[in-house]
Chains A and B, each alone.
Chain A
Amino acid sequence: MTKRVWSLGVRLRGQFLLLGVVPVLVLFATAWVLLVPVLTDQAEARNRELALAVRDQVQLQLLLRQRAAGIVADGLRDNPPRAGELQRSLQALLQRDPFLQAAYVTGADGRVADAALAPTTGRFAEDVVGLDLSTQAHVVQARQEQSPVWSDTFLSTLTGEVTAALAVPAGDRTVVVELSLTALSKSVVDLAQSGLSQVVVVDRDGHVIAHPDARRALQQENLSALPFVREALAGTARSARTNGDSEEQLAHALPVPPIGWAVVVSQPVSAVMLPLQQLGGAVLAVLVGSVLLAVAVGWRMAHRTGTEVAQLADWAQRTAGDGGNPPDLSFSTSEFNAVWTRLRDLFQQLLARNRELQQFVMVASHDLQEPLRKIEVFGDRLRGDLDGRLSEPERDRLDRVLGAAARMRALVNDLLEYSALTSDTVAQESVQLTAVVDGVLDDLEPGIAEAQAEFLVAALPTIRGDPQQLRQMFQNLLGNSLKYRAAERRLRVVIESEVVRASARVSTLCHRIRVRDNGIGFDRAYREKIFVPFQRLHARQDYPGTGIGLAIVHKIVQRHGGSIQADGIVGEGAEFVIDLPLAGGAGPDGSGADRL
């Protein structure tokens, strides 16, 4: 079974998507779970509050008419009116209340004896006089119980509007008023205007008798099929989710005692959950943005990485051949795996060539020594055999041959030494640099004494490395100071150490060792060239040597994972700054950490 390998671009886009999308989705899901019950509770509380307000309003409307009719009934009972007075009293009642359509007073037989009709009915009071109300249920009940009774709602024969009649007993007579429930609808509209809730009032049978849209009240839509409405009509307030007006609603039904109606308040679930929908919209926008950003950034980084790795491969290929500077990299690829395979092959080729070169250097150096030795040996013999017979020019030429042979031997020895640094592995021992420097100063003692030089050595750290190579490093550096001292002043060399951040961009710590002298110095333009093998800044006649010393120092520092920089001013002196890894964190006094 072949394992599927995803390209770096796909991986990057996938990771960006995960980082951008998953947290947003998790946050949204959490918000959803937490907010839904809160929003639902708030909506139900609003429904209950509004239902209570409407119930109070309905009861107030009914009570007002009950009192008005009661005043007429009281007057009728206590002070029997004279002819015409009752008619005027009923008309005044209608004039005061535009929602009262009719007012009657029945005789003891239940027939209408006096009546007043609102002008809006278009009917005449004399048409009503004589009508028999004795079998009307509310009239019968009011007379039996001697208390006000509201009728079931009905479509008024006078106006065609939904109406409720109130019968108020007045001795053996009865006062009856008809109330247009349009008044209730108006009150409901006023109360429900502030929010998204829809408020309706239903009668005892579940017919809608008050609705913000008055026409729907006229059409007597029936809600008794809804269980929570039936429960409210039976006297128990209930909240429920229901389907109405083509969408799901959160509803609350509240009984209206004593008349037996119910107030039903509802609001669309979509409106209740609007904050979540808005949040969802924002989340969707963020998700779309995240996806687009992830794809764009993933593509961009993959493209850049591919380009840069390809550049790295090209550089490596050139380096394996004739050398070159590495490209600036910030890393990423589209075909990373293929390029990496190519790079690995190139580095293996490079290593093989390096090994061949080292072998060549070793062999060449070794083989060059034998002819050199013979030149020197036979040159010396020749000079001895011809001693006294050579002219001055001939002696001079022979000396030059032998001198050149000696320099060549030095060069070959240095080359071998430099080559050995490349091929040998670096030992990892604990090295006390103070002891190393002391040993070197002992070795240089004759020269130091001759120059009357002053070496000031501060406490140096203990590091892990190759003691021989580190000794070689200081030998070359201090020897250089001694060699390139200024004739006009006493040589002063300072060796000191501190723990610093390796660079401003990283937090890694290192030992920084400074070797500073007041010798002849050098031009700062040669700060890089000074570490190139066999490069010399001065005439051989003035300062002997092959020019390999600082190249060896540079190589040793590199092999210990460090770096070296040189600085100098002609005629004033030179300074070498060496950064070496803490390698275990031991400072000059054996303490300290490897990170700031």
Chain B
Amino acid sequence: MRIGFLGGLSGRVSDLGIGSRNGAQLAIEDLNAAGGLAGRPLELVIRDDEQSPDLARQRLDELCDLDVAFIVGPITSTAAVALLPTINQRRVPVISPLAGANDLSGQDDAFFRVVSDTASSARQQAAALLARGLRRIVTVGDAKNAIFSRNWIDSASKHFTAGGGVVVQALSFEGAPGLRFVELAQQIAASGADCAVIAANAADSAVLVQQVRRLQEGLFVALSAWAGTEVFPTLGGPALDGVMVTQFFDRFNATPRWLDFVARYGQRFGESPGYPAMNGYDAVQMGAAAVRATGRDGLLQALRQIRELEGLQRTLRFDEFGDCIVPTYLTIVEGGRYVAVPA
């Protein structure tokens, strides 16, 4: 039985795709070690969309033509929104590990995900900022992943202002080529905000934070979960200390199941797993649960009927549209690593 994987495996933000692919691969190997699904071994068919919506549609068609049972992917919200019409047309179940855009919520479609929508995570971050006494924020979003960035910024801004805060300026950038981080940092510093909320990838966030803090050393910075990769704390040295990063998973989880996964993942891929790997693994397990319930026929209905699924770290809960409801976690960078923010 073929299982598809579709995601950006090359390019600047390919760390999300590669982590998700590795997690999905490990899940497939675990399932095969347990005898496969419906008595058949599983094969993960991998396609790189190179973070291009047009290419993603083409790759989705390829996977459908290969008669995959379901597809794990896509990785970014922008790709997911672009693919949604094709997904519903082909009626192939698609389970995204990471696409949390609000635009994808509440729809009776063939799209499922094992990540909460962006709004709930952004609300949690805004509440934490308010709790720290921060009242003036400047927002910065990466227009290359506009849907996620806009969702995050809008939700955070809405909740922040509802809590008595003010959005002093909303900025966005297009990324390379042409982006001048120094100029963007100058705009942030000049905004008069006491906090910058940035929705960008880890690498761009690291550069931007460093440049901002060269100009305004004490500025508090809060990053979206997009930047919360394993390497982010190492990309900027002491300049990144004190940066708040939202996490889609509990980095400090010590349950036996998670620790076993961390050990096996490290042995298999030579590194520690992050949330992309965890969600890639859980996405495959969600599809597998549906296949176990009904076989390949009626898979969409079986996926919609899933209300709870034991994930690697916690119980995933789903609404009637297949949207996932899981908590997010707040961390602070200190000395080149993440530390937990007390609830």
**B176, A122: Cβ atoms closer than 8 Å:** yes
Contacts of B235 in A (CB 8 A): 157
State A194–B22 Cα separation when bound (angstroms): 32
Contacts of A155 in B (CB 8 A): 12, 14-15, 203
State A123–B231 Cα separation when bound (angstroms): 20
Decide yes or no whether A53 CB sits under 8 A from chain B: no
**A136, B179: Cβ atoms closer than 8 Å:** no
**A160, B177: Cβ atoms closer than 8 Å:** no
Contacts of A206 in B (CB 8 A): 269-270
State A418–B69 Cα separation when bound (angstroms): 102
Give the shortest distance, in Å, between B153 (CB) and chain A (any CB).
22
Looking at A130, A205, A207, which has the most chain B CB atoms within 10 Å of its CB? A130
**B271, A123: Cβ atoms closer than 8 Å:** no
**A135, B270: Cβ atoms closer than 8 Å:** no
**A154, B231: Cβ atoms closer than 8 Å:** yes
Give the shortest distance, in Å, between A318 (CB) and chain B (any CB).
76
**B336, A121: Cβ atoms closer than 8 Å:** no
**B211, A219: Cβ atoms closer than 8 Å:** no
**A127, B182: Cβ atoms closer than 8 Å:** yes
**B9, A219: Cβ atoms closer than 8 Å:** yes
- CB proximity to A under 8 Å, residues B258-279: 267-271
Partner of A218, one of B14, B21, B204, B336: B14
- CB proximity to B under 8 Å, residues A115-148: 121-124, 126-128, 130-136
Please give the number of chain A residues whose Cβ is less than 8 angstroms from any Cβ of chain B in the complex: 31
State A462–B48 Cα separation when bound (angstroms): 102
**B10, A135: Cβ atoms closer than 8 Å:** no
Q: Which residue from chain B places its CB closest to the CB of A160 in the assembled complex? A: B12
- CB proximity to A under 8 Å, residues B169-223: 176-182, 203-204, 206-207, 210-211, 214
**B182, A131: Cβ atoms closer than 8 Å:** no
**B237, A110: Cβ atoms closer than 8 Å:** yes
Decide yes or no whether A381 CB sits under 8 A from chain B: no
Q: Which residue from chain A places its CB closest to the CB of B269 in the assembled complex? A: A222
**A135, B237: Cβ atoms closer than 8 Å:** yes
Give the shortest distance, in Å, between B239 (CB) and chain A (any CB).
5
Decide yes or no whether A224 CB sits under 8 A from chain B: yes
Give the shortest distance, in Å, between A169 (CB) and chain B (any CB).
18
What is the 8 Å Cβ interface bit string for chain B, positions 300-343, against chain A (1 contact, 0 not)? 00000000000000000000000000000000000010000000
Give the shortest distance, in Å, between A151 (CB) and chain B (any CB).
11
Partner of B176, one of A121, A132, A225: A121
A selection of 22 A-B contacts at a CB cut-off of 8 Å is A121-B177, A127-B179, A128-B207, A132-B210, A132-B236, A134-B237, A136-B237, A157-B235, A159-B12, A160-B14, A206-B269, A215-B9, A215-B10, A215-B48, A218-B11, A218-B14, A219-B48, A220-B18, A224-B269, A224-B270, A225-B267, A225-B269
Q: A122-B176, A157-B206, A219-B46 are in contact. List 7 more A-B contacts (CB 8 A).
A: A122-B179, A131-B239, A132-B210, A132-B236, A157-B235, A219-B21, A224-B270
Nearest 6 CB-CB pairs, A to B?
A: A122-B177, A132-B237, A157-B203, A205-B270, A218-B10, A122-B176
